[in-house]
With several copies, the nearest count.
Chain A
Amino acid sequence: MIMTDIIVAGIGQTVVGEHWDASLRTLALQAIQAATQDSGGLKPQVLYVGNMLASSLSRQAHLGALLADYAGLTGIEASTVEAGGASGGAALRQGYLAVSSGLADVALVVGVEKFTDVIGPDLEAALASQTDSDYESVHGMTLTSQAALLANRYIYENQIPAGGLANFPLTAHANGVGNKFAMYRRAIGLDVYTKAEPVCEPLNIYDIAPNADGAAALVLTRRELLPNGFPHPVVRLAASTIASDTFALAERGDMLWFGAAQASILQALQKAGFTLDQVDLFEYYDLFSIFAAMSLEAAGFAGRGKGWELARDGAIALTGQLPCATLGGLKARGNPGGATGVYQAVEATAQLRGQAGQNQIEGARLALIQCLGGPASIAVTHILETML
């Protein structure tokens, strides 16, 4: 029923980091202003906010109305979309629906997370609200420990050698160097990874993306509504999908398979009429190294239990067959919580426009991006394509 292409007309982002001096609304405003300007001044009729934790960490709900107001857009439609760590992707999905339906001409999607207002056990508790409060977090379970449970079993079943997942963070950190919006801009060596103390065995500090503040924004419209003289190569959203899996990790029939990640990618490829081998880059959800490995398998880029080999063999590097985390991923760009899916779309658009600087993937035309909520209880996938 879609009669036209949905275009990512504007992109904006803040540096990901510990913004002690900036509030949630200030960060969001910066990203919105950048995206609006980048779009050539398109005027949004609807705002979707992707956010995960503000009601817990900042005692602030109802961000739709708050950010519409602070962005000088008082009056427009606004709401908040939450799907755990996939909140930003889910907000992008709503923007896509709003513009596709024809009920809005221009949609603004902003992902924002303000982690650093709270530290310590209260932050861990807020993060654990993504897991099952009656049957998981009540036992002291956290999302990090769920990833550790997965990694432990993955290593056991697939007989992964020590350090087998190291190249996920190493690649991410190498790519972060060239991204001026990244939290970490220094490459790390294997020795640094190997010497790191375990944080939540078998995960060490480099297997876990750092939580940090950030905001990113997108302006979406239909192709015929692009302003005259639109200055960028035109990038369209070729597909938008969400799929779910069991909520609790324990209820998975097959623990080591990200079923929602697989389903959302299969559906996206099918809807857009592409195959995996056409994908020029993959922004996966490397909140943990193990998530990156399992996401590669779920997508079909690697066989079961073989995702880590793509990292070991350099296939995911900027110069590899399937560049991943091309601007640092969650590990080096940082994990801005519910903003992550929007950051991924901003980064993919930059790649497809040829604006990725020293990290540019030559001739990139098709980007696959995916974010996950909980232990892949939700997966949101988008395909972006450069239009000729």
Chain B
Amino acid sequence: MEIPRHWRLNQQRYGLVGEVCPHCDTKIFPPRDICPACGQDAKTTFAFSGRGAVFSFTTIYEAPTGFDETAPYTVALVKLEEGPLVTAQLTDLGEAHPEIGMPVEMVTRRLRSDGDERGMLIYGYKFRPVLKPA
């Protein structure tokens, strides 16, 4: 049973909510209450746009428990428009082959499927290729 933990992290996971430093305006994700740039308190919440570009990526075939049923899947570091890098899966790739620099946007998907007694499903952010206007 890990329900409290995931409840605690819901805001970040659903909305990509981090912080902005009131002292130096650095955008922070994940939230950590201390600005990594200037070392001062930074507790002002900040909602990221969810737009960014692939900084690096790879595909996982040998997955950990809770992810083995969905392997293979592609993970990436995504450079957000506002500055920070975020670790997440790429999704909805279809025929697209991921590339460094590919524009992506945030969507909410199921993160892992705990098939054991924990039972719980966890949802959170993934990134998909930016859809071209029709």
Do A21 and B73 touch across chains, with their CB atoms under 8 A apart? no
Q: Collect the chain A residues with CB atoms within 8 Å of residue B61's CB.
A: 199-200
Contacts of A117 in B (CB 8 A): 2, 4-5
Is residue B60 contacting chain A, with contact meaning CB distance below 8 A?
A: yes
**Are the CB atoms of B4 and A142 closer together than 8 Å?**
no
The residue from A23, A29, A124 contacting B64, defined by CB atoms under 8 A apart: A124
Residues on B with C-beta less than 8 A from A119 are 1
B59 contacts A201, C-beta separation under 8 Å: yes
What residues on B are CB-neighbors of A6 within 8 Å?
A: none
CA A136 to CA B9, docked complex, whole Å: 13
A117 CA to B112 CA, complexed, in Å: 17
Partner of A249, one of B9, B65, B87: B87
Spot the interface stretch: A144-152, A164-172, A262-270.
A144-152
**Contact status B64-A137, CB under 8 Å:** yes
- The answer to whether the Cβ of A138 comes within 8 Å of any Cβ in the partner chain is yes
Binary CB contact string for chain A from 111 to 145 against chain B (1 if under 8 A, 0 otherwise): 00000111111101101100010111111111011
B50 in the interface (beta carbon within 8 A) = no
CB–CB B75/A199 < 8 A: no
Q: In residues 68-120 of chain B, which contact A (Cβ within 8 Å)? A: 68, 70, 73, 75-77, 84-89, 100, 111-112, 117
Nearest B residue to A154 by beta-carbon distance?
B56
Interface residues on A, range: 35 or more
Q: Please indicate the chain A residues that have their CB under 8 angstroms from the CB of B14 in the complex.
A: none
Is the pair B60, A200 in contact by a Cβ cutoff of 8 Å?
A: yes
Q: Are B75 and A140 in contact (CB-based, < 8 A)?
A: yes
With an 8 A cutoff between CB atoms, is B24 at the interface?
A: no
Interface of chain A residues 247 through 283 with chain B (CB within 8 A): 248-252, 255
Q: In the complex the two chains form, is A122's CB within 8 Å of B65's CB?
A: yes
Report B-chain residues with C-beta under 8 Å of the C-beta of A132: 87
| Distance, CA A70 to CA B67, complexed state (A) | 27
**B34: A residues at CB distance < 8 A:** 29, 70-72
* A120–B67 alpha-carbon span in the complex (Å): 12
**Residue of A at shortest CB range from B79?**
A250
B132 at the A/B interface (Cβ < 8 Å)? no
- Decide if B130 is an interface residue (CB 8 Å cutoff): no
Contacts of B4 in A (CB 8 A): 20, 116-117
In this assembly, does A58 line the interface, its C-beta being within 8 Å of a C-beta of chain B? yes
- Given A125-B66, A140-B64, A152-B58, verify A118-B2 contact (CB < 8 Å): yes
A139 contacts B88, C-beta separation under 8 Å: yes
Could you say which residues of chain A place their CB within 8 Å of the CB of B122?
138
Also in contact, A145 and B85, with CB within 8 A (given A20-B8, A117-B2, A152-B100)? no
A133 and B57 alpha carbons, distance in the complex (Å): 19
Which residue in chain B gives the minimum CB-CB distance to A120?
A: B1
In the complex, the answer to whether A124 meets B57 with C-beta atoms within 8 Å is no
Report the minimum CB–CB distance from A131 to chain B (whole Å): 9
For A200, what are the chain B residues with a Cβ–Cβ distance below 8 Å?
A: 58-62
Give the residue name and chain of the B residue nearest to A70 (CB): B32
List B contacts of A71 (CB < 8 A). Answer: 34
Question: Is B59 a contact of A141 with CB atoms below 8 Å?
Answer: no
Report B-chain residues with C-beta under 8 Å of the C-beta of A202.
58
- In the bound assembly, the distance between CA atoms of A255 and B84 in angstroms comes to 12
* Residues of chain A lying within 8 A (CB to CB) of residue B124: 138-139
Q: Is the CB of A134 within 8 A of B30?
A: yes
Chain B residues within 8 Å of A, Cβ to Cβ: 1-2, 4-5, 7-9, 30, 32-34, 36, 39, 55-68, 70, 73, 75-77, 84-89, 100, 111-112, 117, 122, 124, 126
Please name 27 pairs of A and B residues whose Cβ atoms are closer than 8 Å in the assembled complex, sorted by A: A20-B4, A20-B7, A21-B8, A23-B5, A119-B1, A120-B1, A121-B64, A121-B65, A121-B66, A121-B67, A122-B1, A122-B65, A124-B68, A128-B64, A132-B87, A139-B88, A139-B111, A140-B70, A145-B58, A149-B75, A149-B76, A149-B77, A200-B59, A250-B84, A252-B85, A255-B56, A255-B77
